[in-house]
Amino acid sequence: MPELPEVETVRRSLLQVLPQKKIEAVEIITPGILALGNAAAFGALAGSEITDIGRRGKYLMLHFGGGRMCVVHLRMTGKLLYRGQSEPLQKHDHVRFGFADGSELVYNDTRRFGRFWLCSEGDISQVSGLATLGAEPLDDDFSVDYWQRQTARRRNARIKAVLLDQQVVAGLGNIYADEVLFRAGVHPERRTGSLTEEENVRLAAAMRDILQDAISKRGTTFRDYVDGNNQRGSYQEHLQVFQKAGQQCPRCGATIERIRVAGRSSCFCPQCQQPE
């Protein structure tokens, strides 16, 4: 599932090619992808341009000027792919923006969990989950202080679940939550109320450092993820514990274990990340 670094990499890759391209037609192949807006409303975008591309957490925003935007969530297997020239539709292509210069932006999604919302920039209330997102770890308003205020309200929650809670921190998923916990030396089942000040400082720093590093490596590709130019990421070569159960911890040599926490698989080192 694309997480903050992958979605940010998609944004940056599309920002290199899409702005100032005039939309000629928007084709909705699978109406079920549209959570807000219908084929006619998308069709009415013809004649406008994609003026800018934003991101918040794991959501992308395509801005069209005039206060209109399309919010996209890629969920499990969604891909926004730019093609320099129009190609025949492929299996799992669900939405196509055709541009006046013959190029196109296609939304492809094997599992079809991704969603599009056509809305006004001033009203995101109907985009599920967007208005309630927590702070972005790479933004200035994210601090140890912010993190501690958030965890103070969830003292009995397990840290892994809190890292995955988009209302606390926007953008982390299973890959980066496991990597953050390893970097900070915190066991995934720890209750946030048991964390020391020092551990909270380490967690906040690990969130920033790992996300920044993963963006610079253009995200993690296991199976599906590619950017807007169909390029794979390379952070999978830098992962320390995620999906490495049974392998040696790169720090201490102990065997990495896998457990389930908050319904999600969690990989960690039993030596470097001690339980309470």
* Burial class of residue 246 (count of CB atoms within 10 Å of its CB; 0-12, 13-18, 19+): exposed
Q: Does 186 bind Zn ion (CB under 5 A)?
A: no
Whole-angstrom Cα distance, residue 258 to residue 267? 4
* Burial class of residue 271 (count of CB atoms within 10 Å of its CB; 0-12, 13-18, 19+): middle
Active-site residue, 19 included:
no
Residue closer to Zn ion by CB (options 14, 177) is: 177
Q: Which residue is nearest to Zn ion (CB)?
A: 249
Minimum CB distance to Zn ion, residue 181 (Å): 12
Active-site residue, 191 included:
no
Minimum CB distance to Zn ion, residue 199 (Å): 16
Give how many residues touch Zn ion by CB under 5 A: 7
Minimum CB distance to Zn ion, residue 271 (Å): 4
Phi, psi angles (nearest 5°) of residue 150: -70, -45
Minimum CB distance to Zn ion, residue 266 (Å): 15
Residue closer to Zn ion by CB (options 69, 249) is: 249
Minimum CB distance to Zn ion, residue 241 (Å): 9
Q: Does 269 bind Zn ion (CB under 5 A)?
A: yes
Residue closer to Zn ion by CB (options 15, 259) is: 259
Phi, psi angles (nearest 5°) of residue 254: -65, 165
Q: Does 100 bind Zn ion (CB under 5 A)?
A: no
Minimum CB distance to Zn ion, residue 148 (Å): 26
CA-nearest of 152, 227, 247 to 191 is 152
Identify the bridge partners of residue 258 per DSSP, sorted by sequence position. Answer: 267
Q: Does 271 bind Zn ion (CB under 5 A)?
A: yes
Active-site residue, 79 included:
no
Phi, psi angles (nearest 5°) of residue 105: -120, 120
Which one of 12, 112, 208, 264 is the catalytic residue?
264
Active-site residue, 237 included:
no
Which one of 21, 55, 58, 68 is the catalytic residue?
58
Residues in region 198-257 near Zn ion by CB under 5 A:
249, 251-252, 254
Residue closer to Zn ion by CB (options 214, 269) is: 269
Residue ranges in contact with Zn ion by CB under 5 A: 249, 251-252, 254, 269, 271-272
Q: Which residues are catalytic?
A: 2-3, 58, 264
